[in-house]
Amino acid sequence: MYELNHNHGSLNYDYLDKIIEVIDRSVAEHPRTFALRFDLHLPKIQQNAIYGQDAIAGRTDAAVISRFIDSLKAHIRADIARRSRNARVHPCTMRYVWVREFNPSSVIIKKWHYHVLILLNKDTYAYPGNYRSNDNLASMIVNAWASALGLNLKAGESLTHLPENPYCYLNSGDPIRFQENRRQLIYRVSYMAKLATKSTEDGYRSFGCSQR
């Protein structure tokens, strides 16, 4: 059994079950799995100086998170193809979970953002790297988010955040450590299943994940 994070209120157990399913499917395909958590923020509303109206910077429609996922997968495929020219690269299926939430501290307008979990083959990707390099996972995430929003890379970097201790490893070949690391990961990402700060009143989905 595993401990859950109830520090932010009740959880949506349908979401939680799906999160755990995605984690376990990743380990079933990739016995050494790399799990990475990060946040994607939407641009702030900017005042239109000509018309005196508020205008959203970037493409922030409901499909923005799908564009991000598709773009990140494309970046990973291209990176693997490039690296494969010079050395053997392990196959890698990217699985993901995302939730859409708002910042409750903003009383004027809901500041929407996404919490994202991706799972990859650790033999292919073992570290996120940093945003300022062009050949690592962190830079691919920034590029994909900027592309999804239709903004430049500088804006994409400012709207992407890696939290403290953003990644962990799951190795099913080491059963004792695997169970402990899985338990810790489930505790941490159970935060994503909290009911608070989610809303579908505007027609946007609040949860999405890999289906296979």
The number of C-alpha atoms within 13 Å of 23 and in the hemisphere containing its C-beta is 28
For residue 107, is pLDDT > 60? no
- The answer to whether the predicted template modeling score (pTM) of the entire model surpasses 0.85 is yes
Average pLDDT over residues 69-77: 98
Beta bridge partners of 113: 41, 101
Question: Residue 196: what are its φ and ψ, rounded to 5°?
Answer: -65, 150
C-alpha–C-alpha distance, residues 140 and 183, integer Å = 28
pLDDT in tens, 36-49: 999 999 987 655 54
Q: 66: part of which helix (H) or strand (E)?
A: helix 64-84
Average pLDDT over residues 58-78: 95
pLDDT in tens, 109-131: 557 899 999 999 999 999 999 77
C-alpha–C-alpha distance, residues 67 and 97, integer Å = 14
